[in-house]
Chains A and B, each alone.
Chain A
Amino acid sequence: MVRILLVLTLFVFTGCAASTAAITAGGSQVELRQMQTREYETIDRRGVLRSVVATLQDLGFVIDKADFELATISATKLQKYEIRITVTVRERDGGRLAVRANARFNEKPIEDPKSYQDFFATLDKAMFLTLHKVD
């Protein structure tokens, strides 16, 4: 019995080690922005926002807030976990639009580039369909 308890206790302390290391291992502000942002060669703000909404719905998010003027969309995904995401669209020089997404998983910000890569890969497909007028 005592041995089992010891093993379990060890598991608890080693199992959570990764999450505490993450506190100090945050990337720079520039790095974070780069990972969360992608630029598109279009000036069709409406089309881009429409694609963002469609992508979020396809990924199982429910839209909480949307504002065309400010080009900001917030959404929540509820499974066994909760993800909150905010997507903004900004105009950039040279007829481009920058889309920035930032998300939180339960209480923690998502700072892993893979998640954002996945998000933008899904958005790319929706964007292609919307900008070529296919639903």
Chain B
Amino acid sequence: MATNSQHDFEKALLRNYELKSSLWGRVSEALVMTSLVACGVFSLAITVGIIVLLVTQSVGFFSNADLAIDPITFLTDTKWSIGQTQGTPRYGILPLVSGTFRITGIAMLISLPVGLICAIYLSEYASPRVRSILKPTLEILAGIPTVVLGFFAIKFITPYMLQSIGEFKTFNAASAGIAVGILCLPLVTSLAEDALRSVPDSLREGAYGLGSTRLEVTLKVVVPAALSGIISAFLLALSRAIGETMVVALAAGSTPTFTADPRGPSQTMTGFIVETFQSESLEPDSIGYYSMYAVAAVLFVFTFTITLIGQLIRMRYQEVYS
């Protein structure tokens, strides 16, 4: 089918094209690969850096000759009073931990059940109309900065909700807990929904085929099948709640207390760290500086282990179903 002119055209094109030199190609490839690997290693370096930093500075805290603090007292003493001029300062971290757990406990009481039910609804029952309202709501809630929720806690939850039903002080654990619960809610919902959705439909169909109601299919088949994913969702939300800073800084107060009563001020580990930063007398190598690191180390251990376990569980269940 080639005409003469086409043949000429082809002949004209049968030239030699020089191949690009491979030297530059190899050098630039090597450079690119090195920098990409460096990026990957950088993220590992961050984690290592945080761990090394916290460990070395905490060691500084414990080896400070002036104070004679030992780790056991630190971890078990129930009074925390830094920089007090009268009496001996005591460095037990338990009040801070208790504050954290009070707030986290209330937050989990709210976000876990509500989040799970929302996730079940979105995954199993979803009518398009409700979904089109609920999903954007959760996305907006997820995007709201934490200072806003802290503001909401101290200006609204405390005066209007809590103080009208009981003897709540201005700074209390309950309102901070509720706000943190609202914060963690979208996280629980989206992770739990992912877990529920990844359960294959064949399981559901089998159960429906046997005559189960939707509730029974959900509670007896789907949720148990997605259990590891749901647990990982809970753990990740827990870790988030423990690490929450701004809400507690605004709403929970700056007095560490060791009690189970959520109606009074309760400084958390994160709240203490923020407060230390803002104090004017923060100098490197001062006792305040070191105590901040010690508390941060405990905080990091908590969040890191919980997040790690949650991630490992999540990676495992994703493998099982994908």
The finding on whether chains A and B are genuine partners in a shared complex, rather than unrelated, reads no
Which A residues form the contact surface with B (CB < 8 A)?
Answer: none
